[in-house]
Amino acid sequence: MRLLIALQFLTVIPVRIARKFGPADLAGSMVYFPLIGAFLGLILAALHAVAAPVLPGPVVGVILTGALAALTGGLHLDGLADTADAFFSGKSIPEKLRIMKDSRIGAMGASAVCLVLMLKAALFASLDSSTAFAALLLAPVAGRYCLLLPAYAFRYGRDRGTGKAFIGGVSLRTILAASAVSLLLSAGLLRLPGAASMVLAAAAALAAGRALSKGLGGITGDTLGAVNELSEMAFLVSLIILR
């Protein structure tokens, strides 16, 4: 059931879960986040296999970026926008948390989303044919694995909210299991460059989590969305450099 919870939470794919579930189930579903990332990555790899032979690289990059956003319902991009608006507002921590609850998007949020989408499309377009399949499969794995790390390492920034079940409940056992799956997948598909890129993405996630936790008084669901987006790009940048 927890695998289905993860699929329901991270994607727009309709999932029917027969019985009610609580905070413990939400936290327990996080161990499956890398597998959901692999599922999304397989879809991206399939789209690339169809589009790359007939379309220019930049067009393929835009298609893949749009497809990933559509498959996730823009969940992490929404978190990125809210986080950027709050983090760069220059306000007090309580006011920043209020800004993150505002459904409207500000200038910093819009800028952050545009920059991330453009950079991600450029990174997808830069992948060479020999590593494209593995890189496209692993980038969403990296994003969803890496958001577990600040969720475990830093405290929840609000008194209550949906994110509290994930951030307050993730266990060391979950972290170790997700780490093992992510590293084995990356090493198996891309050997040392893949494993090193996953480690570098994890380091970037922890660094971003620390900065966001300090600036916002803790971690929230929105900041995890931002970390997901940053970690995907960190993985791709690292892989391109190391390859």
Taking only the tens place, the pLDDT of each residue in 123-182 is 999 999 889 999 999 999 999 999 999 999 999 988 776 677 788 788 999 999 999 999
Mean pLDDT of 100-119: 95
- Tell me what the pLDDT averaged over the chain comes to: 93
The one-letter amino acid code at 121 reads A
Q: Does residue 51 register a pLDDT over 90?
A: yes
Torsion of CA 42, 44, 49, 55, to 10 degrees: 180
| 20 has a pLDDT exceeding 90 | no
- pTM score of the predicted model: 0.94
Q: How many CA atoms lie within 13 A of 235 on its CB side?
A: 31
Q: Which residue has the tokens 């999932």?
A: 15
Q: How far is CA 179 from CA 127, 148, 157, 174, in A?
A: 24, 9, 24, 8
Q: What is the pLDDT of residue 173?
A: 94
pLDDT tens string 184-228: 999 999 999 999 999 999 999 999 999 999 999 999 999 999 999
Where is average pLDDT lowest: 6-20, 42-56, 93-107, 152-166?
Answer: 152-166
Rounded-to-integer distance, Cα 37 and Cα 16, Å: 20
3 state SS of 21? coil
Residue range 23-27: mean pLDDT, rounded: 80
84 in Cβ contact with 208 (< 8 Å): no
Mean pLDDT of 31-46: 97
**What is the structure's pLDDT at 33?**
97
Q: Does the pLDDT at position 28 exceed 90? A: no
Least confidently predicted of 17-21, 56-60, 187-191: 17-21
User: Do the Cβ atoms of 175 and 87 come closer than 8 Å?
Assistant: no
Per-residue pLDDT at 16: 80
pLDDT of 89: 94
> Does the pLDDT of residue 17 top 90, yes or no?
no
Q: Residue 157: what pLDDT?
A: 84
